[in-house]
């Protein structure tokens, strides 16, 4: 079994990623976005992506929903990889927010 600090070559089939981010400022406020992805979805080019869906934290009297896919795996050294994400929330209260960033590293360098 690989620990969180162990170097892992190749693809780890059963993993997910977490992230903690803030949305863009819209209508004078932000929401915190706490997220955990689905297990990996392999792509034809040998990489993988992740699906995610959920709600941003309730703020300013409302919340927003999101559904999105990450970008492909990005090796970051030490046998770990991350994914870039860039998506918009649903519209609520007359506005929506953008969420973008990089999730937390997970084992595997592919």
- Write the CB contacts of 62 (distance below 8 Å, at least 6 apart in sequence): 92, 93
Query: Which residues on neighbouring strands pair with residue 48, listed in sequence order?
Result: 42
Residues 35-40, mean pLDDT to the nearest whole number: 96
Its pTM stands at: 0.89
Percent of the chain with pLDDT over 90: 82
Which has more pLDDT, 12 or 19?
Answer: 19
Q: What is the DSSP string of 57-99?
A: PPBTTB--EEEEE----EEEETTEEE-EEEEEPPPBTTB--EE
Residues 64-69, mean pLDDT to the nearest whole number: 97
């Amino acid at each position: 079994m690989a620990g969180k600090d162990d170097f892992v070559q190749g693809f780890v089939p059963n993993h997910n990623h977490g992230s903690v981010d803030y949305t863009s400022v819209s209508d004078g406020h932000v929401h915190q976005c706490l997220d955990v992805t689905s297990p990996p979805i392999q792509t034809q080019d040998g990489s993988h992506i992740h699906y995610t869906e959920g709600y941003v934290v309730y703020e300013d009297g409302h919340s927003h929903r999101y559904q999105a896919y990450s970008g492909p795996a990005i090796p970051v050294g030490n046998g770990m990889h991350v994914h870039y994400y860039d998506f918009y929330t649903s519209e609520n209260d007359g506005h929506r927010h953008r969420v973008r960033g990089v999730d937390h590293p997970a084992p595997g360098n592919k």
